[in-house]
Amino acid sequence: MSHDLFEAARGAMAFAHAPYSKFPVGAAIRAEDGKVYTGANIENLSFPQGWCAEPTAISAMIMGGAKKIVEMAVIAEKLPLCPPCGGCRQKISEFASKDTKIYLCDEAGVKKTMTMDELLPFSFETELG
């Protein structure tokens, strides 16, 4: 099941707008509706006003009508096993459960699988979350 997310994340990475960092990243989400939503990082000259790949994919998911991340893949062209940054981990956790699988990929495929709880232990939560 994770191979199609890897392929989708790799395909999304091709759309990255990373003229400043030269660090393209792609992300793919399988949502509770079964659909795959993708995103790439989109940089802006006025750093840090750009978007990472993960929240770009989350935005596509929300605009597609889905609300829950079932599993997610992340890939970076220049860094094997690129985990989401701290801010993205919190953004992902808003739409994921503690056992949501996050696949870290290199150019050949999924190399490491982690749960959201492993990526963000003791995450910020309230009674609403």
DSSP 90-112: HHHHTTS-TT-EEEEEETTEEEE
The residue from 7, 32, 54, 125 that is catalytic is 54
Of residues 39, 38, 40, 37, the one with CA closest to residue 18:
40
Does the annotation list 85 as a binding residue?
yes
Helix (H), strand (E) counts: the chain: 4, 5
Q: Is 94 part of the annotated catalytic residue set?
A: no
Query: Residues annotated as binding site?
Result: 52, 85, 88
Query: Residues annotated as binding site for Zn(2+)?
Result: 52, 85, 88
Give the catalytic positions in this structure.
54
